[in-house]
């Protein structure tokens, strides 16, 4: 996903579910997991939610890491995909360390 605008973001029943539009304009649901700061930049950690996950929260799968960028409006942010594998790995390692007691991470998980 590239340059998702938070205009399409919605929280539903405090479930931490947000909806973003992908590059084709299709709505994609994510569970918000955390925001991680690295080198004065913020990154959002999201877990894709499928229709099967709607009734019970997803506990496995790959997370999506997007960089948060400000927009001209102080009420909006943009999420931008990150191509730098080193940055992605650092952010994911920080997330894993912070939530090591709450999530079951497998050794071969990737972003």
Place of tokens 């690295």: 38
Q: Which pLDDT score is estimated for 46?
A: 94
Tell me which residue has tokens 């050794």.
107
Q: Which three-class secondary structure state does DSSP give residue 6?
A: helix
Q: Is the pLDDT of residue 108 over 70?
A: no
Is the confidence at residue 98, as pLDDT, over 60? yes
Interval 29-80: pLDDT, tens: 999 999 999 999 999 999 998 766 444 444 557 899 999 998 888 777 889 9
The domain total for the chain is: 1
Q: Which pLDDT tens digit goes with each residue over 17-37?
A: 888 888 898 999 999 999 999
Note whether residue 106 is domain-resident.
no
| Residue 111 included in any domain | no
Give pTM, 2 decimals: 0.71
Domain span at 89: 4-98
Please check whether residue 107 lies inside any domain of the structure: no
Domain-embedded: residue 17: yes
């Amino acid at each position: 996903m590239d340059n998702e605008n938070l205009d399409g973001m919605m929280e539903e029943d405090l479930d931490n579910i947000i909806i973003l539009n992908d590059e084709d304009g299709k709505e994609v649901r994510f569970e918000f997991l955390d925001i991680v700061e690295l080198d004065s930049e913020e990154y959002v950690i999201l877990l894709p939610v499928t229709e099967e996950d709607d009734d019970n929260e997803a506990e496995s799968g790959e997370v999506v890491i997007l960089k948060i960028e400000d927009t001209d409006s102080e009420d909006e942010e943009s999420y931008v995909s990150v191509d730098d594998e080193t940055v992605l790995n650092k952010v994911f390692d920080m997330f894993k360390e912070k939530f090591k007691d709450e999530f079951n991470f497998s050794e071969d998980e990737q972003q």
